Amino acid sequence: MSRKIIKSKTYLYDEKIETIAEVPEKELELLPLNKDLKIIGKKIPRVDAEEKVTGTAVYTFDKSFTNIAYGKTLRSPHPFAKIESIDTSKAEKLKGVLKILTYKNAPDIGWYGSYSKLLDQTVRYEGDEVAFIVAETEAIAEKAMSLIDVKYKELDFVTDTLEAIKDNAPKIYEDSNIPKTRGHAHYSRGNFEEGIKNADVVIERDYTTQVAIHNPTEPHGSVVKWEDDQLIVWDSTQGVFSIRDTIANSLNMPESKVRVIKEYMGGGFGAKLEAGKYSVMAAIASKEIKRPVKVILDRKAMNLAVGNRPDSHQKIKAGAKKDGTLTAMGLTNYGTMGAYPAGAGAHWPLRSLYKCDNIETNEYRVFTNTGRARPFRAPGHVQGTFALESILDDLAEKIDMDPLEFRIKNFTPIDQDSKRPYTSKKLIEAYKMGAKAINWESRKPAGASDGIVKRGLGFASQIWWGGGSPPAYATVKMNRDGSVQVLCGTQDLGTGTYTIISQITAEVLEIPIDTIDVLIGDTQATPYAPSSGGSTTAPSISPAVYDAALQMKAKLIASASAVLDIPGKELTYSNGKIFETKNESNSITNPKLIRKMRERVLIATGARNQNTDKYAINTFGVQFADVEVNTLTGKVKVNKIVAAHDIGRTLNRLTLENQFHGGIIMGLSFALMDERVIDEYTGKVLTTNYHDYKMPTIKETPEIEVIIVSENDPLVSATGVKGIGEPAMIPTPGAIANAVYNAIGVRINSLPITPDKILTALNSRG
């Protein structure tokens, strides 16, 4: 198929992302609806399940070589300090120590722009990198760390966001803890003050959410190996190409000389979108000692130094008419970036989810002496949705309107900034089906439930992007035996990417899934695909795989036409065989055809289509929660979550439900448990392991029902797929918070909703 070169434009938050991409010249034929398909949309077990359960799947942790060395990072024990001296002589004398990097001998590589170096003399949070040790074994590297003598000049520190914005707070850099560049973001439309004046009811509330840690099953890590002047990196990453580019840039190498490989991965949730300092330091050391180096972070480092969901301190003022019309909404939010620049917003749901002509938001990113924020499964949306959906429930109660009716009253079919209609927004259908599944009609007024254990129902809505974009490419190779290999530079984070690629290929070529081999996550062996974040993996690569498979099918038919001497329009392709439509016995199978062509491999490369500029591409959904609150203990039990969403086409119902279950459990954790705790007097993190950092177990997991109200979204791509990674989590904390309020009649405006907060609120009410 012919191609054209375009400037691809996509949006994420306020950022317009432009890249150059090769896309199909003509639109592909639309993939039929799932009811007319044999494999797509069905509950197909993961193609990599056997490798995972038998332990043969190769994760970064498993990669090794006979002469491999091990890296460890010495980290700052202080939240803010200047290194006055560092003596590595004792550690260097330890048998088995191969290399030690400090700020004295490490290359002068900038990190986080101009805010830090690879190894800096100033450390700005507990866990900041001080030295990198490479040794024969991990145990020797650990011992060497204890032998390094570091003298610190401790500095006054600040770990609390609201304390950091005070005039007398310690300054992490020379200027304010709110940086002049990108420290403040302002947005407005309409006239907020006029909208408030025109409201019949006005509410102003404060909401806070905590810092949360990603804590994936597989820790961050890299294995690096030099082959002459080429660097090979096995990395637990969400973006092999972006990691390659960062490492190459840091080491001042051509990208062609850096190869990044990621085979299997145990979760990332956004924190693994960036390259780690440990990868670059391992590469530097590996080149000097001329041996491969492996560095895998431990759980303490995972909780200190590889990112978090930033906190939020939100003040929302909102007004509405008695008929339920929103007249104005305003938000002021402060969120910590940690010690280095990062995102910390929460405004987008308030700005975009409902119809409201008068909006004003002010958001501030704040430096603190804590670990740096990173993207975390719907950055900003989880915090913002919790606050927005809480105040909307309170507004609905003030005007004596059912909160579900209130949301429907303020439904909008268009993006209020661009004034473009959405490609799809079946949110009202989701409301109706979800409400029926949770038995919304049984909901009682807030606090009206009888007994010590009170039951409540609540819900929250969500908006996210997840439409994907080019450039994204996939190559389909058919071998002489009829087996197929699909190559794509994407990643499987544990979400089922191997499986959906196999399904699409098997559906189009009508061959068994077990004859398809998928190779992904290799910058040298696969064509380019974007990083796996923002719910964009499936919607970006599925059209490319579909295009490649269609091209392969067309090549097979054209080749059969030449071999059989029959016009292509008189041929039919079915189940891996091409035959004369009027005489099925006159046929040829794929393997025989390729051998006749004297081809060892038949190849087709597909590309992802250009996004429409006439529509806004978003996902929408709602989650309902049924909870019980024990008013004597303050304990919350979530009985059931119903998730009803408009997310385009379902590629695999089984892995889709896996994603929703994982997202809902993570949302439940953020609502009730997740919290990084820091000692305000020492600046030390107290929750650096799975024992102290609380997360749900199977005991806390509720009944989960998933309802998909969409069949596909043909305005997005030929496959009609949108992403579900973020939507699966976004509404859960808000839904639980509203259900808790409905149960006890007292609003908890601070996450996590812990027993002490509930008991304090109940006692304050008397």
- Residue-range domain boundaries for the chain: 24-57+468-607, 379-464+614-681+710-765
Identify the pLDDT of residue 15: 64
Secondary structure letter of residue 423 according to DSSP? S
Return the amino acid letter for 367: F
216 — pLDDT class (breaks 50, 70, 90): very high
**Does this chain's domain 24-57+468-607 share its CATH topology with 379-464+614-681+710-765?**
yes
Tell me which CATH code domain 24-57+468-607 carries: 3.30.365.10
* Residues 336/311, Cβ–Cβ less than 8 Å: yes
Q: In whole angstroms, how far apart are CA 542 and each of 40, 48, 497, 505? A: 11, 18, 10, 10
* Residues 406/349, Cβ–Cβ less than 8 Å: no
Q: Taking residues 224-232, what's their average pLDDT? A: 97
16 pLDDT higher than 80: no
Distance CA 543, CA 547 (A): 6
The fold of 379-464+614-681+710-765 is Aldehyde Oxidoreductase; domain 4 (3.30.365)
Calculate the average pLDDT of the chain.
Answer: 96
pLDDT in tens, 188-212: 999 999 999 999 999 999 999 999 9
Q: Taking residues 24-53, what's their average pLDDT? A: 96
In this prediction, what percent of the chain has a pLDDT beyond 90? 95
Find the helix packing angle between 653-672 and 381-398, rounded to 10°: 70
Q: If phi over 0 gives left and psi between -120 and 50 gives alpha, with beta otherwise, what is residue 667?
A: alpha
Rounded to two decimals, the pTM is 0.97
pLDDT in tens, 387-412: 999 999 999 999 999 999 999 999 99
Identify the pLDDT of residue 13: 58
Angle 376-382-385 (CA atoms, 0-180°, nearest 5)?
A: 160
pLDDT in tens, 668-682: 999 999 999 999 999
Q: Taking residues 533-557, what's their average pLDDT? A: 97
Q: Taking residues 293-308, what's their average pLDDT? A: 98
pLDDT in tens, 423-443: 999 999 999 999 999 999 999
12 pLDDT higher than 80: no
11 pLDDT higher than 80: no
187 pLDDT higher than 70: yes
Return the amino acid letter for 1: M
Distance CA 40, CA 536 (A): 18
Identify the pLDDT of residue 19: 85
**Element (DSSP H or E) covering residue 187:** strand 184-189
- Greater confidence (175 vs 727) lies with 727
**Which residues make Cβ contacts (< 8 Å) with residue 480, sequence separation at least 6?**
591, 594, 595, 599, 600, 601
